[in-house]
Amino acid sequence: MTSLVILISGRGSNMASLLEATAAGRLPARVAAVIANRADAAGLHTAAAEGVPTRVVDHRSFATRDEFDSALAEVVDGFSPDLVVLAGFMRILGSAFVSRYEGRLMNIHPSLLPAFPGLHTHRRALDEGVRIHGCTVHFVTAELDNGPVIVQAAVPVVDGDDEQSLAARVLAQEHRIYPLAVGWFAEGRLRVCGRRVLLDRAQAGQGALIAPLPQAVRAD
């Protein structure tokens, strides 16, 4: 069974959705550990309550990013994961760390990449007046929020939306597609071809490698 290590910085709601999916048998994987870069990350309590080992590697204890990355990698490798999952992990990882886990380091971002990389995505989407917003699961590369896209989900931006209402609508989709993407990885159904991620649908009788498409929504 595919082994996961999940990295968090805060409440870890996407971590919780993955734990729920594994417990329900919808995700053929086991969470070997949850690691936070903050001792006060609320998600650590959630993971511990589910019997998942937790660790803290506090970035403030290290003089440089490289030293932090090296210490984090050492703790991660102690659990021998098949996949490292970023779930609200609010530290930029250096190229050496990313290269170490190339092809098995996954992230979820609250926008339809390549639109709105970085922080404050919902505010920026509202400021730009877009009618469609959403979230993206992607493989991590050294360039911030720029790795090959695995799957996206779209939501409408409606009149009267503020950051909180739009964020809640996007978060519901994050909780839906992250277990889906991790499950595809666990089943060996993902293949990276350049900038594209192909999904092997042969197991579903379709016999072809095709890229997952965003959820279609109406903008009116």
Instruction: Identify the active-site residue in 109, 122, 133, 138.
Output: 109
Quickly list H helices, the chain.
Answer: 13-23, 43-49, 65-77, 95-100, 121-128, 163-186
What one-letter code names the amino acid at 213? L
Annotated catalytic residue 109: yes
Comparing CA positions, the residue from 104, 67, 63, 65 lying closest to residue 86 is 104
Written as one string, the DSSP assignment of 140-189 is: --SSTT-SPEEEEEEEE--TT--HHHHHHHHHHHHHHHHHHHHHHHHTT-
Q: How far apart are CA 47 and CA 112, in angstroms?
A: 28
DSSP state for residue 41 in the 8-state scheme: -
Distance of alpha carbon 139 from alpha carbon 197, whole angstroms:
9
Name the residues annotated as catalytic.
109
